[in-house]
Amino acid sequence: FYTRTPCDSEGKTQVMYKWIQPKICSEMLDGAVQLPASGEKQTCPPCNPGFFINGTSGCEPCTNGSYSNGTVCAMCPVGTKPLLGFEYRWWNTMPTNMKSSVLHHEFSSSGR
């Protein structure tokens, strides 16, 4: 699998490849798959709709009464208003209004 580093001040991210753990296959055998080289720099994706690049490689929400396609914010035309909500198309880091957790359940065949 691969992950991406947070965007740097130049608007670049690095792709980092890792084996899924526990690793059960050997890459030393003839014809075995090798991980691609990590560290390749790529251009970061734009911000999600309703957000803009804040100049320090992060994204911030547009102010009330404005909208964005992920680049710059613009004021809504007179007589209109933005449709508020979240639409995540991409991210390199977990958005600040989200969290991740792992649930662990053990099951037994004894029925207890």
Tell me the whole-structure pTM to 2 decimals. 0.61
pLDDT tens by residue, 63-97: 988 999 888 899 999 999 888 888 888 776 677 77
Per-residue pLDDT, averaged over 95-102, amounts to 80
Domain ranges within the chain, ordered by starting residue:
1-44, 45-90
Tell me the three-class secondary structure of the chain, residue by residue. Answer: CEEECCCCCCCEEEEEECCCCCCCCCCCCCCCCCCCCCCEEEECCCCCCCEEECCCCCEEECCCCEECCCCCCEECCCCCCCCCCCCCCCCCCCCCCCCCCCCCCCCCCCCC
